[in-house]
Amino acid sequence: MNYSMKMLDVHRCQMQTLLKDTSREQACFLLCGVAHGNDETTILVREVIELERSDLTVHSYDRLQVSPTAMLSIARRAQALKASVCMVHTHPMSNGEVEFSEADDIGNQKTFEFFGRMIPELPHTCLVWDGPLQTFSGRVYFSANDWKPISKVEVVNGEKRKVFGSSLKKSCNISETYNRQAILLGKEGQQILSELKVGIVGCGGIGSLVSVLLAHSGAQKFNLYDFDKVSLSNLPRIIGATPDDVGISKVKVLKRYIKAMNAEAEIATFEEAIETPHLLKQIIELDVLICGTDDTTSRAFLNQICHQYFIPVLDMGVQFNVGKNGLLVGETGRVNLMLPGTVCMCCCGYINPIKLAQEGLSEAQCKQQNADGYLSGSDIKEPSMMLFNMQVASLGVQRLIEWVTGLNSINQNQYESFRFLGINAEQGTRKVNKRSTKSCPFCAEDSVYLGAGDEQKLLVKPRQVITS
């Protein structure tokens, strides 16, 4: 089992403020959620707790000790939140590399025996940072003498993704295939793409394009999710599909294309709805999720996953509307890189509760409501064409690569809206400010779901998937 930590940019900034004085050791505490995957457990920072001077019984250049009263107060707060505890401190004399000292080891035994007794159901952690707060050592404690290392700390929102302590510090060997691209991204940026674990949800028009663009950019680790099969009507929009593929699952067609381009790519396919419960443990180990579906259920599920498990979601869509006379009456496209702790898709209006309820109906219930007139027009196919999907997919992949590699800063409080033909609006692309709802259960600062990990249940119920 591997162990890592994720936090929001606000947590990183708070830590920098509290720990910046290098005249002596500094400390703070983090309260965290926990996400248990199949092969990786992630600690999710929910709250930063400042220590007052009176909370420290020893506070010198090379020693620091927290009072029993402060420790008890933190444990009580963790119990109320049902959170894991992380103790953070600095070694101001270190620069570039940092390790726990013998004194730290002795203190940690007492500290984590105490927290293990107060909150026994969760693992607790500790971090020690160097003076510039750029390098760390970390541990996950299961008992006073049983611990495992934390491999990386990741900041999952902000203008650029930040990863500390990862394998990226090793020498980067870039193959000749990507050497010209590495001139643009840098060797570390190219390696970031090769190590990025991407989940593609919906492998049709937009999903297949995004997968191919990422594969050609050097991404090598994919999870592909789609229960649908290739049909004649969607054949023109799926990259790599041929008439012989009609009736074959979309994920198999896409896997074949990516493998032909890069035989070393690691690809797992799932012919199931994304919200199927047994998929959760491997979903939460992904670095990013791509939402290329045209249904509300998967979008609502990914919206909660993003904020509860700190996994960025790139949401894209294209929609053309036709009037009763058969003429186009509306069009829209969007690229929305939704980062944890930022405005969610509910607040942006991309999750319609009525449609969400309708998609949860069984086949018999759908037929009955359609007959009764409640779902009038639900079976009408909307226009779709690859060239418009390609515009959205290309910009979406560009924004994602900019953010994960640091190629360019992104504005996490905006999304991009398309008007392809200028129907009822000026033709082109514009940036739209996201507006949050203060009472939103997912992205509000006091949300019970934000960073909660396994502590909170997922609200979206699995659909009764109907395949042709």
Domain of 50? 2-155
Give me the mean pLDDT over the 355-373 stretch.
Answer: 51
Res 58: pLDDT? 93
CB atoms within 10 A of CB 322: 14
- The verdict on 352 and 229 lying in the same domain is yes
Residue 173 lies in a domain: no
Instruction: Give yes or no for a contact between 180 and 362, defined as CB atoms under 8 angstroms apart.
Output: no
Into how many domains does the chain fold? 2
CATH code for position 395: 3.40.50.720
- The verdict on 86 and 196 lying in the same domain is no
Percent of the chain residues past pLDDT 90, beyond the cut: 75
Q: Is the pLDDT of residue 361 over 60?
A: no
Least confident interval from 167-181, 253-267, 352-366: 352-366
- The verdict on 141 and 229 lying in the same domain is no
**Residue ending a domain, choose from 155, 172, 204:** 155
Pairwise CA distance, residues 300 & 460, whole Å: 7
Q: Is the pLDDT of residue 101 over 80?
A: yes
Residue with tokens 């449609």: 355
Question: Buried b vs exposed e over 92-119: b needs ≥16 C-beta within 10 Å?
Answer: bebeeebebeeebeebbeebbebbbebb
Res 96: pLDDT? 86
Res 102: pLDDT? 92
- The verdict on 263 and 115 lying in the same domain is no
Query: Each residue of 139-151: pLDDT tens digit?
Result: 999 988 899 999 9
Instruction: Kindly report the three-state secondary structure assignment for every residue of 291-350.
Output: ECCCCHHHHHHHHHHHHHHCCCEEEEEEEEEECCCCCEEEEEEEEEEECCCCCCHHHHCC
Residue 71 lies in a domain: yes
pLDDT band at 438 (very low <50, low <70, confident <90, very high): confident
Res 355: pLDDT? 67
Q: Is the pLDDT of residue 121 over 70?
A: yes
Burial, 173: exposed, middle or buried (Cβ in 10 Å; 0-12, 13-18, 19+)?
exposed
Res 267: pLDDT? 97
Res 380: pLDDT? 52
Q: Is the pLDDT of residue 200 over 90?
A: yes
Please provide the size of the chain in residues. Answer: 468
Res 165: pLDDT? 84
Res 369: pLDDT? 41
Residue 459 lies in a domain: no
Give me the mean pLDDT over the 218-245 stretch.
Answer: 94
Res 373: pLDDT? 39
Residue 361 lies in a domain: yes
As given in the structure block, the two tokens for residue 118 are 């107060």
pLDDT band at 378 (very low <50, low <70, confident <90, very high): very low
Question: Buried b vs exposed e over 425-448: b needs ≥16 C-beta within 10 Å?
Answer: eeeeeeeeebebeeebbbbbeebe
Query: Each residue of 12-34: pLDDT tens digit?
Result: 999 999 999 999 999 999 999 99
Q: Is the pLDDT of residue 368 over 50?
A: no
Give me the mean pLDDT over the 380-387 stretch.
Answer: 79
Query: Each residue of 44-96: pLDDT tens digit?
Result: 999 999 999 999 999 998 899 999 999 999 999 999 999 999 999 999 999 98
Res 354: pLDDT? 60
- The verdict on 147 and 185 lying in the same domain is no
Query: Each residue of 166-191: pLDDT tens digit?
Result: 434 555 677 888 889 999 999 999 99
Q: 400: phi > 0 → left, psi -120 to 50 → alpha, else beta; which?
A: alpha
Res 364: pLDDT? 54
Residue 383 lies in a domain: yes
CATH code for position 42: 3.40.140.10
Give me the mean pLDDT over the 427-453 stretch.
Answer: 91
pLDDT band at 294 (very low <50, low <70, confident <90, very high): confident
- The verdict on 240 and 335 lying in the same domain is yes
pTM for this prediction:
0.92
Residue 239 lies in a domain: yes
Q: Is the pLDDT of residue 286 over 80?
A: yes
Residue 165 lies in a domain: no
- The verdict on 149 and 213 lying in the same domain is no
- The verdict on 115 and 222 lying in the same domain is no
Q: Is the pLDDT of residue 397 over 50?
A: yes
Res 16: pLDDT? 96
pLDDT band at 98 (very low <50, low <70, confident <90, very high): very high
Res 79: pLDDT? 97
Query: Each residue of 398-416: pLDDT tens digit?
Result: 999 999 999 999 999 999 9
pLDDT: which is higher, 243 or 377: 243
Res 467: pLDDT? 52
Pairwise CA distance, residues 287 & 72, whole Å: 35
Average pLDDT, the chain: 90
- 111, 116, 122, 127: CA torsion to nearest 10: 10
- The verdict on 260 and 141 lying in the same domain is no
Q: Is the pLDDT of residue 374 over 50?
A: no
- The verdict on 211 and 149 lying in the same domain is no
Give me the mean pLDDT over the 189-198 stretch.
Answer: 95
- The verdict on 235 and 334 lying in the same domain is yes
- Give ∠ CA 430-431-437 in degrees, rounded to 5: 135
- The verdict on 101 and 198 lying in the same domain is no
Residue 42 lies in a domain: yes
